[in-house]
Amino acid sequence: MKKLVAIPVLFLLACSFAGGYGALHNQISYSVAPEYFTQYKFIQFQIPEGSSPRMGAAIVGWNAAWWMGGVIGIVLIPVGRFLLPERGYVGRMVGVFGVVALTTLVVGLVALGASYVLLNADSVGELSVYNRQIVDDLAFARAGTMHNFSYLGGLLGIVTGCLAIHRLAKRSKQSPIDAGSHG
């Protein structure tokens, strides 16, 4: 019964993890290409001019990512509900959300690293968004690559999250403390 009560709490935690991840992720991508925000994301997310750029990037990250926690939660919370024992369920699921965030971070950073190897000024060309010319096209493209692949990382995180739940369930079946507490 406690697991059922925990479900809405876990959805809120999943959304908080995703939003927090987005806010932190954008600190990295803002360092790569401030223009990605000032010329594109701040306009898209209606961040007021004169706002702190780092705070604006965090707000954009939160708003762009919190909902992904709902997508992740729709899959992982029921899987955890049925595979994990009641004792320690919420704590284990928080750990699973951490696995998802770590997976997302790794995919985003690998994509960013790959963009430094694979993209160059010729392959990127001249960019413009909202009829504004971008000054550092290459940095803008790198930040965009990191952002796009981070969504893929979130989806891949669902897979690693399921694997983490499976591993935790297997471990808990071997533990005499959790024996008989499935439900």
Three-state SS string over 120-150 comes to: CHHHHCCCEECCEECCCHHHHHHHHHHHHHH
Is 181 domain-assigned?
A: no
**What's the rounded mean pLDDT across residues 73-86?**
95
What does the pLDDT read at residue 183?
47
Is 21 domain-assigned?
A: yes
Task: List all residues 6 or more positions away from 125 whose beta carbon is below 8 Å from its beta carbon.
Answer: 137
3-state SS assignment for residue 178: coil
Given a cut of 90, whether residue 25 has pLDDT beyond it is yes
What does the pLDDT read at residue 164?
98
Number of domains in the chain: 1
Is 158 domain-assigned?
A: yes
Write out the residue range of the structural domain in which residue 154 sits.
2-174
Phi, psi dihedrals of residue 133, rounded to the nearest 5°: -75, 135
What does the pLDDT read at residue 177?
53
Is 182 domain-assigned?
A: no
What does the pLDDT read at residue 176?
56
Is 82 domain-assigned?
A: yes
